[in-house]
């Protein structure tokens, strides 16, 4: 339930956060604190935290792609793009990954994946090409950055399966969060307007959402995700791709009055159909 529903609500929590806190600083706090908590937990439990230089380098690079680029740019885009709308764009991740595997690894899609790709393109066209949305320059940039995030996540996903990283999922995640958060913090200090008053001016709503993201969005859901990978088939875990955007659309509409049009709903159905076809098909080498 955590992977299905909690991850779907993190778009809303991030949207509330960047209303008050600069987006890169917001992301850096979330991941540094969550990574530090996992690290302390491992130390208290006496778990092995040894890591080689090569493993640290690879985990740090993955953290940069997943969190600094992937999550950092999405937090920035949430200033201008509705959280539910963004979740539908993120739902096309399997489509982006399919093309990256084809281009970078020579793994060509079979018929079901090709059908899914067609559905994906149609759904994305319907989602973006809506008269109900009056796109500003920042919104267009935000949508474009979402696709940059998808490419970063896709490349990182392919990267981590072929390099030496810590065998412990907790240690690997702690390193990724700490390094990804550190890079976000450096970016924040370079380009964002930070002051001490940020601490006192931030509302209890933002602080509450930060705690929610740290403990529920990062720590609890990550643990649940790894548990499912061990005891449930990957295909069943992947079905969260269909549920997360629906949750994000609903909570964004309910709590923030985000616009949900009939065309968006139609686009979502077509996108999910495409993702289903892609996830149901295995790939064959050229």
Query: Is the Cβ–Cβ distance between 276 and 113 less than 8 Å?
Result: no
Query: Which stretch of 29-43, 106-120, 173-187, 229-243 has the lowest confidence by average pLDDT?
Result: 229-243
Q: What are the E-state strand segments in the chain?
A: 107-108, 284-285
| Mean pLDDT calculated for residue range 273-286 | 68
**Token pair recorded at residue 77:** 């885009």
CA distance to 30, 50, 54, 73, per residue, from 174 (Å): 12, 12, 16, 20
The rounded distance, in Å, linking the Cα atoms of 92 and 279 is 11
Q: What is the pLDDT of residue 238?
A: 59
**Token pair recorded at residue 208:** 């509450």
Query: Which stretch of 95-99, 153-157, 227-231 has the lowest confidence by average pLDDT?
Result: 227-231
- Top mean pLDDT of 182-186, 191-195, 224-228 is at 182-186
Select from 1, 35, 32, 29 the least CA-distant residue to 13: 29
Give the residue carrying structure tokens 């890079």.
183
The rounded distance, in Å, linking the Cα atoms of 91 and 150 is 10
**Token pair recorded at residue 267:** 């686009």
Neighbours of 224 (CB within 10 A): 17
Q: What is the pLDDT of residue 254?
A: 94
């Amino acid at each position: 339930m955590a992977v299905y529903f909690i991850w779907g609500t993190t778009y809303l929590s991030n949207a509330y956060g960047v209303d008050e806190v600069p987006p890169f600083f917001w992301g850096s706090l979330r991941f540094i604190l969550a990574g530090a908590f996992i690290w302390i937990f491992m130390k208290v439990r006496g778990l092995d935290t040894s890591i080689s230089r090569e493993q640290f380098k690879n985990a740090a690079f993955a953290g940069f792609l997943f969190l600094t680029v992937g999550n950092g740019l999405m937090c920035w885009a949430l200033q201008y793009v509705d959280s539910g709308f963004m979740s539908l764009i993120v739902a096309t991740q399997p489509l982006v990954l399919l093309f990256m595997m084809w281009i970078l690894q020579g793994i060509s899609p079979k018929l079901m994946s090709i059908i899914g790709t067609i559905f994906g393109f149609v759904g994305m066209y319907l989602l973006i090409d809506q008269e109900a949305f009056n796109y500003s320059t920042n919104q267009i940039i935000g949508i474009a950055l979402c696709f940059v995030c998808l490419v970063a996540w896709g490349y990182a996903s392919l990267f981590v399966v072929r390099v030496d990283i810590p065998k412990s999922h907790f240690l690997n995640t702690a390193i990724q969060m700490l390094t990804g958060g550190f890079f976000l913090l450096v970016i924040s200090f370079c380009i964002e307007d930070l002051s001490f008053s940020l601490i006192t001016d931030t509302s209890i709503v933002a602080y509450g959402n930060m705690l929610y993201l740290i403990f529920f969005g990062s720590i609890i859901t990550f643990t649940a995700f790894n548990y499912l990978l061990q005891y449930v088939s990957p295909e069943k875990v992947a079905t969260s791709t269909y549920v997360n955007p629906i949750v994000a659309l609903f909570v964004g509409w309910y709590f923030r009055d985000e616009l949900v049009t009939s065309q968006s709903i139609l686009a979502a159905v077509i996108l999910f159909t495409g993702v289903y076809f892609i996830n149901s098909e295995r790939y064959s080498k050229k």
